[in-house]
Amino acid sequence: MLAHINIGLDFDGNHTFEWKPSNDPSAVDIPKSTLDRWTAEREAFNVTFLRWRRVMEEIEETLHRAETVRTRREPALAVVSSTAGRQKR
């Protein structure tokens, strides 16, 4: 199958790969089964990546909440260090 292929980088530095059928002289002859397999794998990757991203957001949110709770229970370091240097008269 003749296809026009675009390979590049996205904003995060990840490789991108897109293809579309083409009769253009610059088109490349690639087996349709390979292009179909790539499309299926890419769709599966996108689904998995979105699930991973949601889990990472949950972890970050949990860590943020834990840090907020810890900060409320413990005095801030700035307060501790500002009183540590005082001398009794």
What are the tokens at 44? 């599966």
Per-residue DSSP letters for 19-47?
EEE--STT-EE--HHHHHHHHHHHHHHHH
Residue 84 domain-assigned (yes or no)? no
* Tens of pLDDT, residues 26-75: 999 999 999 999 989 989 998 999 999 999 999 999 998 888 777 676 66
Q: What is the pTM of this model?
A: 0.55
Owner of token pair 């675009």: 6
Flag whether 2 is in a domain: yes
Is the separation of the CB atoms in 27 and 7 below 8 Å? no
- If asked whether residues 3 and 21 sit together in one domain, one would say yes
Q: Do residues 24 and 49 both lie within one domain? A: no
Q: What are the strands of the beta sheet with 15-21, ordered from one edge?
A: 15-21, 2-9, 28-29
Please report how many Cα atoms fall inside a 13 Å half-sphere around the Cα of residue 15, on the Cβ side.
6
Here the tokens at position 43 are 């769709």
How far is residue 78's CA from residue 49's CA, in Å, rounded to a whole number?
Answer: 40
Structural domain containing residue 14: 1-30
Residue 84: the pLDDT is 47
